[in-house]
Amino acid sequence: MDKPHIVTASELQRSSGKVLRRVAQDNQHLIVERDGYRVAVLVPYPEYEALMRLRASAAHRQLVRALGARAEQQGLTEEALSGDVEAAQRQVYAERYRNAGTQR
């Protein structure tokens, strides 16, 4: 692994344009230190977006597993859960469009 690029908080404050160019144009990852402690990381925005998508995907998988385990504990079948979801969707649809028609 490459040696991390470190900038101090004071350098970031003094030369923010230069530091941000290093991140945006040179695709550098920069660790910001303040008083010798690592306090932040600067990464190019597309990498941040990819990380957030990955994190959301992992959270979604974890939620699905937890819900599946909970349903199994309660003895619910996939068919019963699908029926409940469809009923909830119909209810939300009816509420949304019934209310939309009265707001004109």
SS3 42: strand
pLDDT per residue, tens digit, the chain (104 aa), is 567 799 999 999 999 999 999 999 999 999 999 999 999 999 999 999 998 888 888 888 888 888 888 888 888 887 887 888 888 889 988 888 876 655 55
CA 67/CA 60 separation, integer angstroms: 10
CA 10/CA 31 separation, integer angstroms: 13
What pLDDT score does 1 carry? 55
CB 46 within 8 A of CB 24: no
Q: pTM surpassing 0.85?
A: no
Q: Does domain 5-42 have CATH number 3.40.50.1000?
A: no
CA 83/CA 72 separation, integer angstroms: 16
Domain ranges of the chain: 5-42, 45-73, 77-104
Q: What is the pLDDT of residues 79-100, one digit of tens each?
A: 887 888 888 889 988 888 876 6
